[in-house]
Structure 1
C-alpha cells in the first residue's frame, strides 16, 4: 500500500519520479545525509533518490548510497512504499514514489562518493524521526522503530 505525503500546490504539475530510499543502522544510529546546497538551508534525508532508466529499486539504492555516502550496501527487505510531493532545489515539482528498504552496510568506498553537497551523518533514530526533511522518510523511520520494538518485545521472557 502506498501512502501519499506532502500536499500538492495548486497550479503545479508534479512529475511522477520513481525513487527509493534506505534505512541503514550502525550501533543504534541511522545513516542519513546532510544536504547543504550553499543556500543556508541544509536539511537531512535518508540516502537514496531517483531510479535511472531501467534500474530496479535495489540497483538504484546501491548506486545512490555509494554516490551520496561512499557506503557499500546490500538491500535486505522492502519495508514500505510511500510517495512525497515536494519541490526540488531547482524548484521543479516532483512526487517521489517508491520503496524504503532496510539495508546492511557491507563496506565503504570513499572514491565512489560523487555528491559533494551530501555528508554522511549517523543520527539517533528519534533525532532522525524529527529532523528528516520529508514526512515519508519520518514515517518510514517510525515504522522501522515500531517493528524493531515489536521484535525486541517478542523476544523478552515473560
Structure 2
C-alpha cells in the first residue's frame, strides 16, 4: 500500500463558537471536512496545512500545534492514509472558493455538528477542548558518505 499523508486544520471563528468546514465535491456525493489535503513531495506537514487552507478557503493561517493524528486504509485505492489535524488561527485573507471544481461550499458549523463529519476524535466534545501538542520541525539531516 502507498502511504499518503494528509493535513487538516481546525479553525474557530472569533467567538470560538463555530468551526470552519468545506464541502468537497465527491465522485458520487459531496461531503464536509476541515480544510486540508494531501502533502506534496518535499513539503512539510505545516507547509501543506497552510497551503491547503489558503487554496480551499482563501484564508491565511498559522498553526498552533497538533490536535490529533489518525489513520485509515483505503483498500480500493491501495492507500494507507495518515491524517494530521492541526489547530490553527486565522491571520488574514478573505473567505472565497478559489477551487470550485473541488469545493462547493465554505461554512461555519457548530462543533457538535462538525464532529459528525470529521472523525478526528472518539470522544464527543473534544473538538472544543484546547488540547494540542507542539509541532516541531527538526532540521533536515544529510549524511555524507
Q: What's the TM-score, normalizing by structure 1?
A: 0.68
- CA apart distance, 1:20: 1.1
The answer (yes or no) to whether the contact 1:73–1:104 under 8 Å persists in 2 is yes
The answer (yes or no) to whether the contact 1:67–1:115 under 8 Å persists in 2 is no
CA distance in 2, matches of 1:83, 1:113: 28
Stretches of structure 2 lacking an aligned partner (at least 5 in a row): 132-145
Instruction: Tell me the residue number matched to 1:11.
Output: none
Which has a greater percent of helix? 1
The answer (yes or no) to whether the contact 2:12–2:20 under 8 Å persists in 1 is yes
Aligned length: 128
Q: What's the TM-score, normalizing by structure 2?
A: 0.74
Once the two structures are superposed, residues 94-138 of structure 1 have per-residue CA deviations (whole angstroms, 9 ceiling, x without a partner) of: 222142110001122567833533121111000011133xx3x35
CA distance in 2, matches of 1:99, 1:18: 8
Residue 20 (structure 2) pairs with residue 34 (structure 1): no
Residue 106 (structure 2) pairs with residue 120 (structure 1): yes
- After the TM superposition, which segments of 4 or more aligned residues of structure 1 sit over 4 Å from their partners? 109-112, 138-142
RMSD: 2.7
